[in-house]
Amino acid sequence: MADVVLFHHVHGLTTGVQEFADELRAAGHTVHTPDLFEGQVFDTLEEGMAFSRTVPVDDRAAAAVEGLPAELVYGGFSMGVMCAQTLASSRPGAVGGLLLHSAIDPQWVGPWPDGVPAQIHAMEADPFFIEEDGDLAAAEAMVAAHDGVELFLYPGDEHLFTDSSLAAFDADATALVMQRALAFLGGL
């Protein structure tokens, strides 16, 4: 079974993020869900983005993995993908990546480690993924550069569709993400 660290998005460590982690745990995986916002949860993306700029998210993410084994699957939801990719590229021992709703250009977070498989999941018309942040181009570049990195696009235009506590939640797409994620983790 895999040892996973799963970083939350800008809304904070919501019940939806915890439920996603719990489903991975129910399959036998060890899942760590650090709270980078120390209990703060935000109703809107804008509030969460504003708050995220006031706290040392990268430092908190690095501190959160200090006591964890080196052999980790690094995962995250949107903003949390930045933490996951940064740590996978800078901390030896990464065994996988589970990147939800985002993929970051390596110029900002360092290169994805060679030989480390990953899954990237997003909606095909998510404006944050497709247009605004350049995530699609980063995801496609990761897939092209690394054997074992897969990109899955789902019908729809929501950003945080795997978080059951948010209005963007899509149960059908999330079920498919979970099925693929569990198969991926089970194969590591």
Is pLDDT above 70 for 132?
A: no
Give the architecture-level CATH label for domain 3-186: 3-Layer(aba) Sandwich (3.40)
Residue 44: both structure tokens together? 């809107």
Is pLDDT above 80 for 70?
A: yes
- Residue 76's DSSP bridge partners are 7, 99
Is pLDDT above 90 for 88?
A: yes
| pLDDT tens per residue across span 16-61 | 999 999 999 999 999 999 999 999 999 999 999 999 999 999 999 9
* CA 177 – CA 98 distance, rounded (Å): 10
- Across the range 54-83, mean pLDDT stands at 97
| pLDDT tens per residue across span 158-181 | 999 999 999 999 999 999 999 999
* CA 46 – CA 39 distance, rounded (Å): 17
- Residue 15: predicted pLDDT: 98
Residue 162: both structure tokens together? 């795997």
Query: Taking a C-beta distance cutoff of 8 angstroms, is the pair 173, 154 a contact?
Result: yes
- Residue 131: predicted pLDDT: 78
Is pLDDT above 90 for 149?
A: yes
Query: Taking a C-beta distance cutoff of 8 angstroms, is the pair 154, 122 a contact?
Result: yes
Is pLDDT above 90 for 134?
A: no
Q: How many other CB atoms sit within 10 Å of the CB of residue 176?
A: 13
Is pLDDT above 70 for 76?
A: yes
Q: Is the pTM of this model over 0.75?
A: yes
Q: How many other CB atoms sit within 10 Å of the CB of residue 98?
A: 25
Is pLDDT above 90 for 148?
A: yes
- Across the range 100-117, mean pLDDT stands at 94
In the chain, what are the domain boundaries? Answer: 3-186
- Residue 145: predicted pLDDT: 94
CA-CA-CA-CA torsion for 139, 80, 157, 39, nearest 10 degrees?
A: 180
Q: What is the DSSP string of 16-31?
A: HHHHHHHHHHHTT-EE
What's phi and psi for 185, nearest 5 deg?
-65, -35
* CA 111 – CA 131 distance, rounded (Å): 22
